[in-house]
């Protein structure tokens, strides 16, 4: 990590812990077959990409899940609860770290997310931390479903770089998905793959970035 002035953070499994296997089990319990192909970290049905780009509404997404499960009787709550089982929470100390990092660098959040997860997380942050979202932790937050773009496509990175006038060579991108890092690296960003059991707190201390 050399001459880092800007840091772009992914959210899931970088700041907010998630577990895809819990959602896979929940989808299976609802009647979805071939769940590994339906919803995984590196492979998923096109409905998830469309949902993360805001191309379909929450109601349209739920209807597609009902079709996949061949269960038209599934309620909105059953589907939302199944989808949200993967959302575990924020590790103690992560929010405090982000504020320290923000004081030293220009920091941004860039997350592939959808309306159902977004609503759940916003409610969680308010009820547990009394936060009105993540906005105060970063200079600016970027959510895919509000942008109409998603990682790993280059256009979402290019929008952030252009809007914030960031020099890619001075910008570090931290994500847990190799395919997202590959795009960022091609655009000239410095990158770091976050993999358990590593954490952002350990990473920043180890790299002496704060």
pLDDT in tens, 121-147: 999 999 999 999 999 999 999 999 999
pLDDT in tens, 82-94: 999 999 999 999 9
Domains of the chain with bracketed CATH: 6-16+92-206 (3.40.50.1000), 20-84 (1.10.150.240)
Q: Is the pLDDT of residue 41 over 80?
A: no
DSSP 2: -
**What would the two tokens of residue 26 be?**
């929940």
Separation CA 141–CA 74 (nearest Å):
33
What sections of the chain are H helices per DSSP?
Answer: 20-30, 35-38, 46-52, 58-69, 76-84, 94-104, 115-129, 144-147, 154-163, 178-186, 200-206
Residues 6+ apart with CB under 8 A from 59: 76
What sections of 53-93 are H helices per DSSP?
Answer: 58-69, 76-84
């Amino acid at each position: 990590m050399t001459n880092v002035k800007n840091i772009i953070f992914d959210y899931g499994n970088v700041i907010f812990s998630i577990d895809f296997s819990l959602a896979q089990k929940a989808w299976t319990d609802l009647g979805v077959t071939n769940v590994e192909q339906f919803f995984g970290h590196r492979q998923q049905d096109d409905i998830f990409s469309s949902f993360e780009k805001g191309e379909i509404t929450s109601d349209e997404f739920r209807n597609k899940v009902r079709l996949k499960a061949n269960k038209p009787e599934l309620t909105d709550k059953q589907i939302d609860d199944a989808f949200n089982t993967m959302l575990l929470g924020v590790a103690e100390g992560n929010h405090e770290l982000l504020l320290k990092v923000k004081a030293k660098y220009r920091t941004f959040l860039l997350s592939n997310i959808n309306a159902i997860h977004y609503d759940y997380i916003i409610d969680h942050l308010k009820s547990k931390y009394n936060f009105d979202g993540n906005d105060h932790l970063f200079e600016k937050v970027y959510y895919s479903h509000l942008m109409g773009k998603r990682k790993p496509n280059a256009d979402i990175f290019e929008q952030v770089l252009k809007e914030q006038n960031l020099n890619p060579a001075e910008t570090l991108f931290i994500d847990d998905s190799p395919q997202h890092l590959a795009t960022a690296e091609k655009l000239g960003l410095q990158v770091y793959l976050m993999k358990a059991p590593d954490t952002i707190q350990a990473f920043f201390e180890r790299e002496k970035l704060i």
